Amino acid sequence: MEKQNQIKSLLKELNWGYRQLADLVLEEKFSDGLSINEDFSPEEIQLETEKIKKHLQRASTPEERLNYYLKVICQHPEFEALKLGYVFTQYVEHECLPNDVINQLKSIKW
């Protein structure tokens, strides 16, 4: 539940609700990197908002899902403007490392 609490804390710091995060998640899912391809219906936004609420309350939420929410939050300009000093950890491949070391690094839970 540590990551869930971290996400909730970041939302509070940004003065965002679950709906704001849901909007950003939908934009991220359906954008082509240059522009947003569609407008989302209130029902779609509400459904995504409810999913996020449940994910942040359950201990069984997959780590990948929580990392995705953190990534969406940390890449937003409002987050960057706060200068909280939070760094989103992610593995970057290096060709100079042996495959067994790479696999071990990928398996680390941050």
Other beta carbons within 10 Å of 70: 19
pTM given for the model: 0.71
- DSSP one-letter code for 39: P
State which residues form the domain around 102: 2-107
What pLDDT does 28 receive?
A: 87
Domains contained in the chain, number: 1
> Which pLDDT does position 34 carry in this prediction?
52
Q: How far is CA 45 from CA 19, 22, 26, 42, 85, in A?
A: 7, 6, 8, 5, 30
Regions of the chain with pLDDT less than 70:
32-38, 84-94, 109-110
pLDDT value of position 79: 87
- Residue 105 CA to residue 102 CA, distance in Å, equals 5
